[in-house]
Amino acid sequence: MNKKRLAIFFSLISVIFLTSFNRVAPISRAPTINEDPFPVTLHFFYSENCSSCSALEKFLIKIKKDRDNVAIEKYSTDNDTNNPNYMQNVELLLNASEILINKKTNEVPFLALGGKGFLGHNKTVEYEINYFVEKYSHTEQVDVVNKLINGEQINDEDIDRTQLDLIELPLLGVINPKTISLGLVAVVLGLVDGFNPCAMWVLIFLITLLLPTKDRKRIFVLGGVFLLTSAVFYFALMMAWISAVSLVAANKVFRIIVGVFAVAAGGYNLYKFINTLVKKEEGCEVTDEKQKGKLIERVKKIVNEQKMIIALFGIIALAIIVNFIELACSAGLPIVFSNILAINGITG
């Protein structure tokens, strides 16, 4: 009965905890006296031999199905007998791309709506297209491509220079750091970052040695202190990063550097993972066999220590040493999260 009550209690706590987070904030709408949505035209430049074009077209068709005010105008850039408008379409693409993205190109897929242009296709582009379709549905906009077609003059105020600071995260996908629930981001990144095999093996080894003692109190105390110390260590690391990042978070170049670092770190770890599978080596390469041997001896001494107070100090020191040594295994996500907090004005 006690176990059932405990399970129900934790289930209720979990539901309350998860529902306490705000959902991703909806895209803000500019105030307008017109309750009916404004018409939005998606000018889609494509090629039949382009897989990215096909993927983007499917996405645009879905938007059109969901919104009655959206229309799609297609411009083929294929040079063949079935496309008599080839020259006009390419010229229009060159002019539109130069004006909207400051890059004169005939690359496809290219999408223009209002005063915005998007080259290529990925999840970030999809997020931005959705954002500006929503924005232009409730805010009157100038159709730059339509102006080009009609030979009208393009003014500087016709260009929408709104920039979105977007980040792609595990499980959450593409997010806007300024609108998403920080609590939700913290939980997701914490769960992903928590599966750190480089530090987890020490905890597993510690529990393995403690289980035969059948001393539940000692198991929970030493294991709990190890986890608590690891949490405090990461908290201190995050506070240090936030203090440093908040000074330069407004600098777009710095955010780009952080993004490049995170992608590079992820790519490097993926390469190492594949390499270990091919060579059938151990997964963690941060610690060598000598370091692991020393850590194992420390764990054995702590487990065999009769005085609880000495064992506690030993486990605290062990947790700090392990997390410091193994920091290279998961430095990327704390840096990314620190940047998200700094963008939202949260400093240490």
83-116 confidence digits (pLDDT tens):
999 999 999 999 999 999 999 999 999 999 999 9
**CA distances (Å), 198 to each of 6, 207, 282, 284, in order?**
32, 16, 10, 6
State the CB neighbour count (10 A cutoff) for residue 232.
14
pLDDT at 196: 63
Torsion of CA 51, 173, 345, 186, to 10 degrees: -160
User: How large a percentage of the chain has pLDDT more than 70?
Assistant: 70
**If we measure between CA atoms, which residue out of 285, 316, 280, 323 comes closest to residue 298?**
316
Exposure on the CB side of residue 113, measured as CA atoms within 13 A: 27
Same domain, 159 and 226: no
Among 117, 133, 164, the domain boundary falls at: 164
Same domain, 335 and 235: yes
Mean pLDDT of the 27-33 span: 41
pLDDT at 340: 72
CB burial of 239-257 (b: ≥16 within 10 Å; e: otherwise) equals eebbeebbeebeeeeebee
pLDDT at 23: 39
pLDDT at 114: 94
The 10s digit of each residue's pLDDT in 240-261 is: 777 766 666 556 676 677 678 7
Same domain, 156 and 190: no
Same domain, 133 and 231: no
The 10s digit of each residue's pLDDT in 111-153 is: 999 999 999 999 889 999 999 999 999 998 999 999 999 999 9
Q: Is the pLDDT of residue 284 over 70?
A: no
CATH of residue 95: 3.40.30.10
The chain-wide mean pLDDT, for the chain, equals 78
Structural domain range at position 226:
182-343
